[in-house]
A and B are shown apart, each in its own frame.
Chain A
Amino acid sequence: MHSRALSVSPAPAVAVRATDIVKRYGGVTALNGVSLTVTEGEVFGIIGPNGAGKSTLFDILCGITKPTSGAIEVLGRDVGHMAPHAVARTGVARTFQRTAVFADATVFENLRYGRHASFRHGVLGRIVGSSSCRADEQAFQERAREVLALTGLDGDRDRRAGVLAYGVQRRLAVGVALMADPKILFLDEPAAGMNGRETADFIALIRAVAPGRTILIVEHDMAVIRELCGRALVVVDGRPVVIDEPQHVLRHPEVITAYLGADDE
């Protein structure tokens, strides 16, 4: 049932490896010694209360934020010294918890922007209609059609992203990320604000795109984690608590206290 790769090869390749990540903002320690190893093809969950450091961990794994200390390796590359756009170009895509889409652009234009890294032609090529311009455009159109169908956004392609319902924007965010056909997909609270039906559709969408990819999901909706993830990491106050299969993780005493504690606030 799980998309987790029960790999045939004896030692599955590592997609993401983080070693002893510490991140401080002035006096605030957002992350305090987090380590994880995610193998290729895995769907890996990250849970924890608000402010636990989940988004910060994502930012660090994608090269957007540099850690105070610790090492990060993504697809065999040391991300610690790479610019974020360069990390993206190695086949890493992510969605954001807030402002997940290009709000002023139509759905279709959002997909075009998502395709950026694959365009080879320049302004001159556009003017003369060079062969690389035509090839780029054709490949884009093809990919956009696939992604529109996958995300169920066919009917919304010419609507402005900013006016779409929240759940639809979330699906579009995944669509933008998929345009580059990434090897690793980071999803930051992708199902937040979705109703039950939207969440079920969303789970189906992620299942459909998971084969051949590694996916990391931060999510509060435990149904999503249970349905999709082979393993999950629990972070509380920047500290890793446990990494295990979702059903074990959710029964961990510290997880129960952490969530009850967070609810008390």
Chain B
Amino acid sequence: MQPSSTSAAVLAAEPARDGVPAPAMRPGPTSLSIWLLLGAAIAAIAAFGFAVSDPFIVTLAGYTCAFALFALSINIMLGGIGEVPLGQCVFFGIGAYGVGIGMVKLGLPFELSVAAALVISVAAAAALGALTLRLTGAYFSIVSWGLSGVAMVAATNLESLTGGPLGLFGFSALSVGPVLLTDPQSYFFVTASLLVAAVLFLVAVRRSPFGAAMESVRQNRHLAQSVGVDVTRVRLKAFMLSAPLAALGGALCVPYTQIVTPEVFSVANTVDGLLMVLLGGSQLIVGPVIGAVIFSIIPHFLELDPNVRILIFSSAIIAIMMFAPGGLHQLAVALRQRLRRDGHA
């Protein structure tokens, strides 16, 4: 008994994985592997940023990182508490309009506009969440979708503030401190760094008691409640955590789009983000990032017609949901296990 419980104590810091592929959030890899992955990510970002010279591709990579932030935000709701937040584009739009209104209408610098947008997005999430998070499942999804429609109508009609249907454009100095975001390489480095920081933060969140509480709520809210989890509060906190990530993503898309129109509130943006999450896997913290990369880079290289792109991605999603509901990541894990088993045989 004694030796086994001692080894349990050693193992206990990070539970070992057994052969059962569980599509559940895990407390995460060991700290060492996180630092290794972080090193690899920084090396890859530096290599990409310095080696790739085509400014279009580097800018697209920056935009992909920005949109990946939005996908991470969506996954706090989907992978975190099990809701499909169709209206998440509201916060994405708040970020974009924060930059648009802040810079074009108020003459504020980019950083201050973004900071204001983040604060507003959290406040909006608190208010909207208090109203909509009483609902669950399809009801929550549909109501939050409806709210994004309201936001789009407001953006279209509040012409003096939003520029109406034509939107806001003509940005002067899109820069973070001395770093010009109109320079492709700088843009990419800024968005990629923020993405890495967001992922690291989400790793900490998942491994915190709050992360465990979210996961318990996703899996069984009645049981979660009976072990003392304030389900309503956890759901609201998750929403308020997801909002500024979406807003940051929306704000960082502006240097790429160079214009902010009511379209930022389109549910199509949320659907794109959702597809990224599903492609990469909702139970893997970097799943949405993997999905975002696949989602934006591949069609570029395949030079797909937008309609064909939708067709291909929709089919891919259906196939993923049927064969690998944990995302492509799950396929890779299953494949590795198969190979290992064959290797032992």
Contacts and interface: CB of A to CB of B under 8 A. Distances in A.
Contacts of B204: 123, 126-127
Q: How large is the interface on B (under 10, 10 to 19, 20 to 34, 35 or more residues)?
A: 35 or more
Given A96-B223, A122-B208, A158-B18, A116 B12 contact: no
Contacts of A119: 209, 212
Contacts of A192: none
B256 interface: no
Contacts of B205: 123, 126
Contacts of B207: 126
B27 A176 contact: no
Interface string B193-234: 000000001001101111111011001101111111111000
B8 interface: yes
B341 interface: no
A79 interface: no
Interface string A84-119: 111011000110100111111110110011111101
A135 interface: no
Contact of B219 (A105, A116, A121, A125): A105
B20 A122 contact: no
A104 B229 contact: no
A158 to B, nearest CB: 5
A16 B8 CA distance: 38
A102 B219 contact: yes
A104 B228 contact: no
A102 B22 CA distance: 12
A101 B216 CA distance: 10
B18, B208, B227 — most chain A CB neighbours (10 Å): B227
Contacts of A125: 208
A171 to B, nearest CB: 15
Nearest to A115: B227
A119 B234 CA distance: 14
A93 B208 contact: no
A73 B207 CA distance: 36
A180 B210 contact: no
B17 interface: yes
B223 A176 contact: yes
Contact of A116 (B18, B23, B26, B228): B228
B209, B211, B212 — most chain A CB neighbours (10 Å): B209
B99 to A, nearest CB: 27
Nearest to B233: A85
Contacts of A102: 215-216, 219-220, 223
A145 interface: yes
A159 B227 contact: no
Given A105-B215, A106-B22, A109-B27, A99 B230 contact: no
Contacts of A245: none
A104 B22 contact: yes
B231 A116 contact: no
A246 B15 CA distance: 43
Nearest to B27: A109
A207 interface: no
Contacts of B226: 62, 64, 84-85, 88, 93-94, 96, 177
Contacts of B15: 106, 108-109, 157-158
A119 B208 CA distance: 9
B35 to A, nearest CB: 14
A26 B277 CA distance: 42
A116 B12 CA distance: 17
A65 B336 CA distance: 47
Contacts of A191: none
A121 B8 contact: no
A113 B224 contact: yes
7 contacts: A85-B226, A108-B15, A113-B216, A136-B209, A145-B12, A157-B8, A160-B20
Interface of B: 4-5, 8-9, 12, 15-18, 20, 22-24, 26-27, 201, 204-205, 207-213, 215-216, 219-220, 222-231
In the complex, the 3 A-B pairs of residues with the closest C-beta atoms, listed nearest first: A117-B228, A104-B24, A119-B209
Interface of A: 62, 64, 83-86, 88-89, 93-94, 96, 99-106, 108-109, 112-117, 119, 121-123, 125-127, 136, 141, 144-145, 148-149, 154, 157-160, 163, 176-177, 179-180
